[in-house]
A and B are shown apart, each in its own frame.
Chain A
């Protein structure tokens, strides 16, 4: 008797999805979420840093001794291993060029306005603005030009890459569609504003008709293009010199576009290549490779590289991870973090002091005095516990300090206003519910919770997109603006 075709198809699909994948057992899940002593040939670990003392007390002095011992080994390894076997790539072209410093270097007009302090933001009121002609989406790029919010690409309810974009002018409260881009529809690209154009690079682009069979609806791309609002035109730029990159980090130094990180494979391994684009010469210069972490056993993977530009150096906060199965149902995750700096004109990365926060997914800003690092966990909500503080790195003292208060507690997007850092603060137990916005002021060095933001974020307004100088625009399923009156 033949099987019902529906069941037959179901069995075939299940077989396809189960093929070669070992189920995750309850003991493995428990093992990942708890701190264990190294035991036998297959120690189980939670993610490695920062293993807070708040959990150690309950485990006892023996566990503490074990962690300290391993910490010393990790510290020695991080200080000595990275980069030692990786000669820096020779600089070509212009390399990393100097520019002016300051908290608004490379930022659109409006940065540092009188309305941009945390105290002023706290007096803002929320108002809706037109959602515009674009469909709801995620994975889009957003930049502020000084006059307009530009949104391009992403993926929508059809879950395929989108190739349309539009610009919103807060003065007229109107949207204008962008002309067709030379880029294929793309999601998870990076974009930055150079002062005259929006440069869009990398991401995953929709498959071409002749794409290889490995193209699963979209494929990584090395394409780069720029949109110029003044002429309402797009133009192509030379492709990424490091090849195809998904979700790279891009920042504008005031003179160059620097690209760091980005996935190069489906399993999330990041690129260790960095490069700088100089619009004056329309050319890319390769920068030295990010340091590697080598050791015996399973390979360390670069999983996060968060760049910050100080005006005189490119500082990158790096996290490596390795994970696997132990063979008896247990799993392990180990992670190491470090911070590296590439000075203007330099040819090698220099190690900076060990950071005091989790780095994966963190967001950064240069305050003109310190690098602020907010949010960030590479193993969200479980290991380590959510971070309840941001951290500051001072190039002057080469030291880290904490920015205490009701700061962000998980990886989230952040917006720098020139005086304050606005980021999402999520609940420790509700990763998708009850999020609020907090603003950390660089002058007072204190956090302020912004009123009314929980309702805005819960209503699907999306995420903070840009700071215009007087408004914080949050665009998503709805458009919301935190309108800040001039300080009296």
Chain B
């Protein structure tokens, strides 16, 4: 049992940030966190299977989706207005302006730190398609943010 706990600790350390960020991007803060907790609870109950999952983060993402009873993938952050911004205030507006697929891929890969393969598996597209959307999204966001290219 103690070994199980230790292994699960390591598993959560590895998977939780990517899972949570993706679910928060989809559902917003409160429901996204709730879905993450539900998915990880399922993971603990089925810890014997975790090693056999080829793509645990995408699998648990779907568990979180079902747990939340909401089926949509709405990858835009519902950030409440805050008097003091700790992140780039323009970022949310720029993300909203992105085409849907570009925004989803950008948030999954750059925001939630998913691999191209993981994002491709979730979205049902090829990794090369993910890369194309990602490059376009990055270019557009950099341009909007006026981030200079490094020569």
Contact = CB atoms under 8 A, between A and B. Distances in A.
A12 B11 CA distance: 25
B62 A33 contact: no
Contacts of A89: none
Given A17-B107, A24-B36, A5 B27 contact: no
A159 B91 CA distance: 21
B78 A429 contact: no
Contact of A14 (B8, B16, B113): B113
Nearest to B77: A16
Contact of A26 (B8, B27, B32, B74): B8
Contacts of B141: 9
Most buried by B among A16, A22, A217: A16
A138 B71 contact: yes
B57 interface: no
Given A2-B150, A160-B100, A218-B74, A431 B63 contact: yes
A216 B95 CA distance: 10
Given A5-B149, A268-B69, A268-B70, A382 B38 contact: yes
Task: Tell me what chain B mostly uses at the interface: helix, strand, loop, or mixed.
Answer: helix
Contacts of A139: 71-72
A23 interface: yes
Contacts of A210: none
A132 B45 CA distance: 41
A263 B74 CA distance: 15
A247 B148 CA distance: 44
Nearest to B43: A29
A13 B21 CA distance: 10
A281 interface: no
Interface residues of A, number: 63
B74 A13 contact: no
Interface in B33-68: 33-34, 36-38, 40-46, 49, 59, 62-63, 66-68
A385 B93 CA distance: 43
A217 B93 CA distance: 12
B3 interface: no
A17 B77 contact: yes
Interface in A65-99: none
B37 to A, nearest CB: 5
A379 B63 CA distance: 10
A158 interface: yes
Interface of B: 5, 8-9, 11-13, 16-17, 20-21, 24-25, 27-34, 36-38, 40-46, 49, 59, 62-63, 66-79, 86-88, 91-93, 96, 100-101, 104, 106-107, 110-113, 123-125, 138, 141-142, 145, 147-150
13 contacts: A9-B147, A12-B91, A16-B91, A19-B87, A24-B33, A30-B8, A139-B71, A158-B101, A213-B93, A216-B78, A379-B38, A379-B67, A380-B42
The 4 closest A-B pairs by CB, nearest first: A29-B40, A13-B111, A32-B41, A26-B12
